[in-house]
Amino acid sequence: MSDQGKERQRQQWYAKQTGQMLLAAERQAAQHLLRDSLGFRLLQLDAGAQYPLWLEQGSGCHCLLSLLPSRCHCPQIQARSDSLPFQSKSLDVIIMHHSLDFSADAYASLREASRCLTDSGTLLIFGFNPGIWSLLRQVPPLAPVLSDARFFSPHRVVDWLSLLDLQLESLDWLHPKCCHWFGRQAREPSFVSRKLGHFLPWLNASYVIKARKRTMARVSNSLLSPLPLGIARPQLNRDSLKVESCDK
């Protein structure tokens, strides 16, 4: 099956009750983590949900990237996550919504996201919890949807971030309000289930990682050279000053 066909299967799963509840929990987490980052150039790398996680009333340029066209009321780009059609350091926020789980080259996708982020850009990574989804992928209804999934642990993703000038800010586990993975009726998570999700992270549905781009400015060799003795008077070369009009 082609990549577009697999993404179409995931799109159908996200439209069901379990997928909708998972998306609701992840959207709430994204809005909380990006409450101070809205109003900039934002890109969401999608893997079939076709569901924007940012606040709709936020200002700025927001677009969604996937392999299939969707009905979202936002600008859309059809491309692969490991080959982003953006200039380097051109995006302030990138949301990777399970794109690592279904990418043919997850590290290349993460490297592309790092390339496109500005020096102080924010990266959100949503991933399926390998603990529970490795078991659920054996269930017949989920088997075709997750057949090509590669579940990465958050600790492995954090190791990749350290190699790409991305600094970890937070790692949270998400326990959405759904407990009908095996066809049971959905209900509110009980106190016991929430405690189990806290002490046994592998029971949670997904995780979200927030990282920030940290690019250290290179120090010029001239600044490292020893200072000459004596005191020099600062001089201003007026011939080198040039003022350009904004009307050009």
Condensed to tens digits (0 to 9), the pLDDT of residues 62-120 reads: 898 988 877 677 788 888 899 999 999 999 999 999 999 999 899 999 999 999 999 98
Cα–Cα distance measured from residue 174 to residue 237, given in angstroms and rounded to the nearest whole number:
59
Q: pLDDT at position 35, please?
A: 83
The rounded percent of the chain whose pLDDT value lies above 90 is 31
All domains of the chain, ordered by start, with CATH? 3-217 (3.40.50.150)
Q: Select from 210, 171, 178 the least CA-distant residue to 36.
A: 210
Report the C-alpha dihedral over residues 72, 152, 125, 201, rounded to 10 degrees.
110
Q: pLDDT at position 168, please?
A: 96
Q: pLDDT at position 17, please?
A: 83
Q: pLDDT at position 126, please?
A: 96
Computed on alpha carbons and rounded to an integer, the radius of gyration of the chain in Å comes to 22
Low-confidence ranges of the chain (pLDDT < 50): 178-194, 196-197, 217-248
Cα–Cα distance measured from residue 173 to residue 120, given in angstroms and rounded to the nearest whole number:
24
Q: pLDDT at position 212, please?
A: 94
Tokens linked to 99:
């794109």
Q: What is the pTM of this model?
A: 0.76
Cα–Cα distance measured from residue 155 to residue 171, given in angstroms and rounded to the nearest whole number:
9
Report the C-alpha dihedral over residues 34, 209, 158, 146, rounded to 10 degrees.
-130
Q: pLDDT at position 88, please?
A: 94
Cα–Cα distance measured from residue 111 to residue 101, given in angstroms and rounded to the nearest whole number:
15
Q: pLDDT at position 156, please?
A: 94
